[in-house]
Amino acid sequence: MNKFSIQKNCLLGYLTVVNLVNDAEVVAIAEKIIKKQGLINKAKQMNTKIRKYVNSKEMQLSCVVDFLRLPRKEAKLVYLNAKNGTRVEKEIQKYKG
């Protein structure tokens, strides 16, 4: 795996843990790993930006795409409706922040 992929996976994993996990030990493990990778400052900066848009999935995803410098044309926001099995894809707009 290349360096970019490792960093991207570490940052996304960290974001997932610190925003969705309630177990302090698990959060501590994630912080230990991200520190070992030398990404703690970048991870905290990214989390701060994303938390500004807590009420907008579109803006959060846009922020992640920009922060990780992912090609915007290769990412889509996908809404799945489990009740009726529909799927809607949207372009990811540029966030303002």
Condensed to tens digits (0 to 9), the pLDDT of residues 36-83 reads: 999 999 999 999 988 888 778 888 888 888 888 888 888 888 888 888
Condensed to tens digits (0 to 9), the pLDDT of residues 2-37 reads: 888 889 999 999 998 998 888 899 999 999 999 999
Closest CA to 96 of 43, 39, 68, 56: 56
Q: How far is Cα 59 from Cα 68, in angstroms, rounded to an integer?
A: 14
Q: How far is Cα 64 from Cα 72, in angstroms, rounded to an integer?
A: 10
In this structure, are residues 75 and 92 in contact, taking their beta carbons and an 8 Å threshold?
yes
Whole-prediction pTM: 0.69
Closest CA to 92 of 63, 69, 53: 63
